[in-house]
A and B are shown apart, each in its own frame.
Chain A
Amino acid sequence: MRREADISGKLDWVSVLLYIIMITLGWFNIFASVYDETANQSIFDLSLNSGRQLMFMAASLIIILAIIIIDMRFYETFAYLFYGVILFALFLVPIIGKEVGGNKAWIGIGSFGGQPSEFAKFITALAVAKYIGSVGFKMDNLRNQVILFGLIGVPMMLILLQKDTGTALVFSSFILVFYREGMSPFLLILGICAAAIFILTLLIPNQLFLHGAIAAILILLIAIGKKRFRRIGVLIIGALLISGVIESVDYVITDVLKPHQQNRIKALINPDADPLGYGWNVTQSKIAIGSGGFAGKGFLKGTQTKFDFVPEQSTDFIFCTIGEEHGWFGSLIVIGLFVTLLFRVLFLAERQKNRFARSYGYAVACIFFFHFAVNIGMTIGLFPVIGIPLPFFSYGGSSLWGFTILLFILLKLDAHRGQVLQRI
């Protein structure tokens, strides 16, 4: 117990301070996004999202205390057990879950609901970190690689079954962790190429044109390079693969994706085609942010993001409120806070003495980064609308608690980094 008593001195107070600033700013903006000037509301009103968020924040405090009190070895020891439990919970969701906003992701107990997928993030991070940190693990071993991708692939598939594409995609951010721990950059580049082809396919509606272009490049490559049988074979197979991807993109778009997801991707390419239809969110979000100017319209003075009939206004589109009411300067502060936090988390990760803690730190950074990049990217029209929250800013209990746990387990591990044996 003596060891636990002085933990406050070892806790990384820079991260804690950033955390407090972010959730407080988030709370004010949630109020701004639901504020109705004619209704005489209070930020503490429990019928408003802001009042409930305050309760979630108070609950976070209890979670933080629990994380700090629990022995640090607990997290690594039981990582696989948690992983098993959360897989089971995710498996149950499509069966007993209730539908909220087009996604079946909630498990309800009475009037309280929780989203297991939010908690799957930190649990998967722990499991992945434990596996990477295990004795004899080698990143270039194919068997290890397969298990690693399996670890993130299974929860991803289960969440996809809940039709929650956004959260499922978050798990792809683990590839960055693998990269840091020694995986070949080839996979990373392959992924980026696939995404580029995907978007190209959408941009150019006539696929024959694309196939023609690929054939032309293929002939060009064969013509200018050495005419060795093996090289030509690889090039032809590569070209066929790319053509296959193009065909499958079309198939995925029209047959696999739900209409509302198709619309979101189409809106990315041409949001002006139907500004009142599926492009509505992106258009309104850009108008709101764009009308903020340099200094913004002022707290509670926004005109574009009021009336809470667009349910995402305090959750996924919270950045609109920031952009509209606090302008470019406010955006600078929020983005600055995120970049600072991410750098701090990377710094903490790098100073860990064992591989488990370091990998976990990287996983935390990657998950935060993915949410940050995709959420803000979608509100300013750089990414398709993928419904994932902005950490610490978006309204919601499960997501706030998920991110809080994610961060504070790292801070707990960091506080005890001197006590662990080096195991690289």
Chain B
Amino acid sequence: MNEGRKEIVQLVILLTGIVFLVKLFFVQVLDNRYAELADGNVILRQVEYPFRGLIYDRNHKLIVYNTPEYDLQIVIKDLKNFDSTRFCTVFEISREELRKRFKDMKSRKEYSPFKPTVFMSQLSNIDFAKVQDYLDEFPGFYVQARTTRAYSAPALANALGYVSEISKESLARDSSGIYKQGDYVGQSGIEAFYERQLRGKRGVRFKLRNVKGIEKGSFKEGEYDTLSVPGQNLITGIDIDLQQYGEFLMKGKAGSIVAIEPASGEILSLVSGPSYDPGLLTGRNYSSNFKLISNDSLKPLFNRPLMAQYRPGSIFKIAQAMTALQEKVITPDTRIRCDRSIINCHGDHTNEDLRGAIANSCNPYFHTVLRRMLNKGVVNDPFGDTRVGLEEWNKHITSFGFGNKMGIDLPNEKEGLIPTPAYYDRAYKSTAWKFSNIYSLAIGEGENLVVPIQMANFAATIANRGYYYTPHLVKAIGEDGKPLPQYTERHYTTIDSSYFIVAVDAMQKVVEEGTGQYRAKLADVIVCGKTGTVQNAPPLFDHSVFIAFAPRDNPKIAISVYVEDAGQGARAAASIASLMIEKYLFGGTKRPHIEQYVLNNKFE
């Protein structure tokens, strides 16, 4: 009785398959209506790029803001009666360029004739205004608005960094899924370090288009749309006027100026010389300008305040003095004869105490001080004894922030170098080294390397009599916000704070009667400073170094200046430092001859 039922079931299955295929054949192959509908019924996904956060200076002056720019996109399938001659006239491009753009576009991996592809990117407001009225002559072309960075002053380029389209490699590395192709991302400086805070959140609008390519409104009344969220604004501690003045003074020089507010660790100015105009790395000319700047032999992209590692020179004597006092190998009254047989000196002093030795930058004095520190006789052999001493010395010196990354809120900071016993083991390939091998450390020469930001922080530490806040650029994230938590923490050195008064006295003495008296002394405020002249290979001039803070009590500014190949520290560096202090405290200099001296660039 069940015979034939198997066949009936099979027939039902087969018939269903055939009915489907016939229906599909009508829908897919015979009926063009659906293909047309699809063309006109595409959901257009329009990205709403968020406004990137703005960057202000400490007086709420705008430093970085956004300005509109436009990407011209094209959907090849929508292109109708394209008049290339007219297009070339309107957009002011040659036929060859037009052909090249089409070729470039089609060779891209993600190219599809159904989807909007960028045809011309980053048209400026002015460019866009020129072509805006003619766009409806070219169906298939659409405009995507976004913003690019603009700068109120051509300054602070290296600290601000720049923003550009995310690279293929970074996109592949991004596991968060936040970035999409074509997104802009901070590539260096503040823009990179605070990318998370600045970027905001992308919004998306889904729109429907009809057959004529005209938008029919939002898809499902905007149910799936999201609004873009602007990024957070950043308030920096930078004084943009001081910054610009610093860059003005550094014209034609290589080096850096770092100024810090000691009471907070906020960076007042961060000058890297030579620099560039940050406006060059925005908009359409980004790639060509970037090539120019990165190939410049003066390396304007090299952010010297953080990345240049220099021997510190004589400014290091203050750190030696503090360490020696803490280790109790000298007292402030210890006098040491200026014996120039091992290590040379300058000036006509003969037998100074500690303050006098700093003021006159006496080399033999600190040679002896370091020997007393490294060879205390705790171990019988000279090798082992130096080893123990160096270990202790290293602990004190690094507590000033030397030898490690400070943790400033900028990428690519360098550590510098404060030698450890292990370092010399590697350098000498044995443990057989002793004080006589490494005594150049005493006067800040030898293997020591410091970074300009560390020198400024050193000045701030002395200004604070023994502690510092990690230097940082951003003092508030968002209006009335806070800095990152790590920047509100005090770091104490291993030196008892009572010893710092000696350093302060000595630095005052440097400016008032010692090596810095000619150019660093100011009439209206007590400046404390220290010169440094770092040996350089002849025929080049030595490097000119100066650190300072002012006023002596309740200091408002601590500064380090490093000018490469400019001779004695008392000349270029001391002049620039005192001019910066004057500018910050009083709004300008009363000593135009010093300013002129700096601008003339003749320091021999």
Chain A interface residues toward B at CB < 8 A? 36-40, 47, 176, 179-182, 276, 280, 284, 286-294, 297, 301, 303-304, 306-307, 309, 323, 327-328, 331-332, 335-336, 338-339, 342-343, 346, 350, 362, 365, 369, 372-373, 376-377, 380, 382
Tell me the bound Cα distance from A356 to B334 in angstroms.
108
- Are B220 and A286 within 8 A (Cβ)? no
Q: Does B27 contact A (CB under 8 A)?
A: yes
Name the one of B20, B31, B43, B219 contacting A376, with C-beta atoms under 8 angstroms: B20
- Are A380 and B29 within 8 A (Cβ)? no
- Are B23 and A291 within 8 A (Cβ)? no
Q: List 9 A-B contacts (CB under 8 A).
A: A36-B180, A39-B180, A180-B6, A289-B34, A292-B28, A303-B114, A343-B13, A346-B10, A382-B19
Name the one of A36, A181, A332, A335 contacting B2, with C-beta atoms under 8 angstroms: A181
Q: Which residues of A contact B17 (CB under 8 A)?
A: 335-336, 338-339
Q: Does B110 contact A (CB under 8 A)?
A: yes
Name the one of A301, A323, A332, A369 contacting B112, with C-beta atoms under 8 angstroms: A301
Q: Which residues of A contact B208 (CB under 8 A)?
A: 276
- Shortest C-beta distance, B150 to chain A (Å), equals 26
- Are B112 and A37 within 8 A (Cβ)? yes
Q: A39-B177, A382-B23 are in contact. Are A290 and B182 (CB under 8 A)?
A: no
Tell me the bound Cα distance from A272 to B180 in angstroms.
36
Q: Which residues of B contact A297 (CB under 8 A)?
A: 114
Chain B interface residues toward A at CB < 8 A? 1-2, 5-6, 9-10, 12-14, 16-17, 19-21, 23-25, 27-29, 31, 33-35, 37-39, 41-43, 45, 110, 112, 114-115, 171-172, 177, 180-182, 206, 208, 219-220, 224
> Would you call the interface of chain A mostly helix, strand, loop, or mixed?
helix
Residue of A nearest to B110 (CB): A37
- Are A289 and B206 within 8 A (Cβ)? no
Tell me the bound Cα distance from A288 to B34 in angstroms.
8
Q: A181-B2, A293-B35 are in contact. Are A346 and B9 (CB under 8 A)?
A: yes
Tell me the bound Cα distance from A256 to B58 in angstroms.
67
- Shortest C-beta distance, A176 to chain B (Å), equals 6
- Are A335 and B21 within 8 A (Cβ)? yes
- Are B220 and A276 within 8 A (Cβ)? yes
- Shortest C-beta distance, B593 to chain A (Å), equals 60
Name the one of A36, A288, A338, A362 contacting B38, with C-beta atoms under 8 angstroms: A288
- Are B37 and A309 within 8 A (Cβ)? no
Tell me the bound Cα distance from A290 to B33 in angstroms.
8
- Are B115 and A179 within 8 A (Cβ)? no
Q: Which residues of A contact B219 (CB under 8 A)?
A: 276
Tell me the bound Cα distance from A336 to B2 in angstroms.
27
Tell me the bound Cα distance from A339 to B9 in angstroms.
12
- Are A309 and B27 within 8 A (Cβ)? no
The 3 A-B residue pairs whose C-beta atoms are closest, nearest first, are A290-B34, A291-B38, A328-B28
Q: Which residues of B contact A288 (CB under 8 A)?
A: 38
Q: Which residues of A contact B115 (CB under 8 A)?
A: 37, 303
Q: Which residues of B contact A37 (CB under 8 A)?
A: 110, 112, 115
- Are A40 and B38 within 8 A (Cβ)? no
Q: Which residues of A contact B28 (CB under 8 A)?
A: 289-290, 292-294, 323, 327-328, 331
Tell me the bound Cα distance from A343 to B15 in angstroms.
13
With A289-B27, A307-B224 given, name 7 new contacts (CB 8 A): A38-B180, A47-B177, A288-B38, A289-B34, A290-B31, A342-B13, A382-B23
- Are B177 and A304 within 8 A (Cβ)? no
- Are B23 and A380 within 8 A (Cβ)? yes
- Are B14 and A290 within 8 A (Cβ)? no
Name the one of B13, B37, B110, B182 contacting A291, with C-beta atoms under 8 angstroms: B37
Tell me the bound Cα distance from A5 to B430 in angstroms.
68
- Are B45 and A335 within 8 A (Cβ)? no
Name the one of A176, A307, A323, A342 contacting B206, with C-beta atoms under 8 angstroms: A307
- Are A303 and B38 within 8 A (Cβ)? yes
- Shortest C-beta distance, B118 to chain A (Å), equals 11
Residue of B nearest to A294 (CB): B29
Name the one of B24, B34, B35, B224 contacting A309, with C-beta atoms under 8 angstroms: B224
- Shortest C-beta distance, A75 to chain B (Å), equals 23
Residue of A nearest to B6 (CB): A350
